[in-house]
């Protein structure tokens, strides 16, 4: 069997690894347009291995996150990769947030998140001495990892099993020839064609575009949101022991500005969520007019903007004015000062949006005969990567 995987981020590599395990005689090829592994979402995320607090019980996110974090922990131990259970507190700042905090606790309990404990304000400060809040939910098993290192380890497993990873191979066309799938890469003298019996599309920020090349529906479309971070300066990272999160707004899949300790040292503050002006627009000056126009004319974006423009303006103000970003962060760590934070690298979230403006929350996976499309795989996809790979591989090989 000839199997192709589009995307050499953590999810595509995890899927390829699982397929290599199940089909050791398969001819397996991973394609990616970049010249390196984990170039986009995998290499620009916060490094948090999520325990499964927020997700609707019974959803793919909930099921695969719980399975995925267990697999990830074991994998990191086997490969001697960093995995630190530093714990996380979700903090209620006032009485209005107690109800939503209770809902998170209900979901987390239903999802089987271990070690959960409800905290008073005093108990919160025993865990995070510099945090402010009237109550919190403590998840001691939430961890931090290096997802880029994990992705490279997956890639080593793929090549060790005889698979091929082709970088600098942008997919430009996908067709059908009988029961087979044809994939064209590159252009001009660099153009080439490959033929597969099965194809899996895990293209992240380009997932809708590549899916459409395969004949999939226009919806959902990817709307890129840039998440900007600050980093605590050396000597001030002792303000945070683990992870400090707000009670999220249930209208959005974003978790709000929070504090994240990194496995390599230091603490990041963020992210916000502002519209990126390019699909891979990690800097404010990264603008691709054609991509921006594609986003703006998507009917779902128009509905989204009309419905949530006030939130969008607030996020843009926080992006442009450091003191606004600082004020949001200081609601949780009051001792924080402007001089304590310096800009850190940003990430871009591939957020799928339906035509009615709804933000797609759960993982969304489609099937077009021999082609499997992953149309939405935001956080906790990295945490869940090995479990998603199990889920997808079974469908790919049996349907």
Q: How far apart are CA 171 and CA 196, in angstroms?
A: 13
Q: How far apart are CA 242 and CA 246, in angstroms?
A: 14
First and final C-alpha spacing in the chain: 14
Q: How far apart are CA 176 and CA 209, in angstroms?
A: 17
pLDDT given at position 314: 85
> Hey, what are 160's tokens?
């060790």
pLDDT given at position 247: 95
pLDDT given at position 399: 67
pLDDT given at position 240: 98
Residue in the block written with tokens 């000839």: 2
pLDDT given at position 191: 80
Closest by alpha carbon to 15, among 265, 366, 390, 345? 390
Q: Which fold has domain 221-359?
A: D-Amino Acid Oxidase; Chain A, domain 2 (3.30.9)
The architecture (CATH level 2) of 1-84+144-220+361-399 comes to 3-Layer(bba) Sandwich (3.50)
Residue in the block written with tokens 């990567």: 385
Q: What is the pLDDT along the chain (399 residues), one digit of tens a residue?
A: 999 999 999 999 999 999 999 999 999 999 999 999 999 999 999 999 999 999 999 999 999 999 999 999 999 999 999 999 999 999 999 999 999 999 999 999 999 999 999 999 999 999 999 999 999 999 999 999 999 999 999 999 999 999 999 999 999 999 999 999 999 998 776 789 999 999 999 999 999 999 999 999 999 999 999 999 999 999 999 999 999 999 987 766 566 789 999 998 999 999 988 999 999 999 999 999 999 999 999 999 999 999 888 888 888 888 889 999 999 999 999 999 999 999 999 999 999 999 999 999 999 999 999 999 999 998 999 999 999 999 999 888 886
Helices (H), the chain: 10-22, 60-79, 98-110, 121-127, 147-160, 207-213, 289-296, 299-320, 322-330, 385-398
Burial of 338 (0-12, 13-18, 19+ CB in 10 A): exposed
> Hey, what are 157's tokens?
């497993």
**In the chain, domain spans:** 1-84+144-220+361-399, 88-140, 221-359
pLDDT given at position 352: 96
CA 237-75-57 angle, to 5 degrees, is: 80
> Hey, what are 244's tokens?
């400090």
Alpha-carbon distances, residue 103 vs 55, 56, 311, 332 (angstroms): 11, 10, 23, 20
Q: What is the pTM of this model?
A: 0.96
Cβ proximity of 142 and 261 under 8 Å: no
Chain centroid to Cα 74, Å, comes to 20
Closest by alpha carbon to 204, among 28, 38, 370? 38
Q: How far apart are CA 359 and CA 310, in angstroms?
A: 16
For 310-316, the CB contacts below 8 A with 24+ separation are 311/252, 312/274, 312/275, 315/272, 315/273, 315/274, 316/274
Per the DSSP assignment, residues forming a β-bridge with 364 are 376
Cβ proximity of 53 and 107 under 8 Å: yes
How are beta strands 371-376 and 364-368 bridged, if at all?
Answer: antiparallel
Alpha-carbon distances, residue 43 vs 38, 312, 345, 384 (angstroms): 5, 25, 10, 16
pLDDT given at position 87: 98
Helix/strand/coil for 394: helix
Helix/strand/coil for 41: coil
> Hey, what are 379's tokens?
């956080």
pLDDT given at position 332: 97
Residue 371 phi/psi, 5-degree rounding, is: -110, 130
């Amino acid at each position: 069997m000839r199997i192709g995987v589009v995307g050499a981020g953590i999810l595509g590599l995890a899927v390829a690894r699982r397929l290599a395990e199940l089909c050791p005689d398969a001819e397996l090829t991973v394609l990616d347009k970049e010249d390196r592994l984990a170039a986009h979402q995998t290499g620009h995320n916060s490094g948090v291995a999520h325990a499964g607090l927020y997700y609707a019980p019974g959803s793919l996110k909930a099921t695969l996150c719980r399975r995925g974090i267990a697999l990830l922990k074991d994998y990191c131990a086997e490969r001697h990769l960093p995995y630190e259970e530093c714990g996380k507190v979700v903090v209620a700042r006032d009485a209005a947030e107690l109800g939503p905090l209770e809902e998170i606790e209900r979901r987390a309990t239903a999802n089987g998140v271990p070690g959960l404990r409800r905290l008073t304000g005093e108990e919160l400060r025993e865990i995070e001495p510099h945090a402010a809040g009237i109550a919190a939910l403590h998840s001691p098993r939430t961890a931090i990892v290096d997802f880029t290192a994990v992705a490279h380890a997956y890639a080593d497993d793929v090549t060790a099993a005889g698979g091929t990873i082709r970088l600098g191979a942008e997919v430009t066309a996908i067709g059908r020839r009988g029961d087979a799938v044809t994939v064209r890469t590159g252009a001009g003298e660099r153009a080439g064609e490959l033929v597969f019996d099965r194809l899996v599309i895990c293209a992240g920020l380009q997932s809708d575009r590549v899916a459409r090349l395969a004949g999939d529906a226009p919806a959902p479309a990817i709307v890129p949101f840039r998440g900007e971070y600050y980093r605590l300066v050396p000597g001030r990272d002792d303000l945070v022991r683990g992870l400090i999160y707000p009670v999220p707004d249930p209208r959005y899949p974003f978790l709000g500005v929070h504090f994240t300790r990194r496995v390599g040292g230091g603490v990041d503050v963020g992210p916000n969520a502002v519209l990126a002006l390019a699909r891979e627009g990690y800097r404010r000056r990264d603008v691709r007019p054609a991509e921006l126009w594609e986003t703006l004319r998507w009917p779902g974006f128009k509905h989204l903007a009309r419905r949530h423009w006030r939130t969008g303006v607030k996020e843009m103000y926080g992006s442009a004015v450091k003191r606004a970003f600082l004020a949001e962060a200081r609601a949780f760590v009051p001792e924080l000062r402007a001089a304590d934070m310096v800009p850190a690298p940003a990430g871009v979230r591939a957020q799928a949006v339906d035509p009615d403006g709804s933000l797609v929350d759960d993982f969304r996976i489609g099937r077009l005969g021999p082609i499997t499309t992953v149309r939405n795989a935001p956080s906790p996809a990295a945490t869940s990567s090995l479990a998603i790979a199990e889920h997808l591989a079974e469908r790919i090989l049996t349907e």
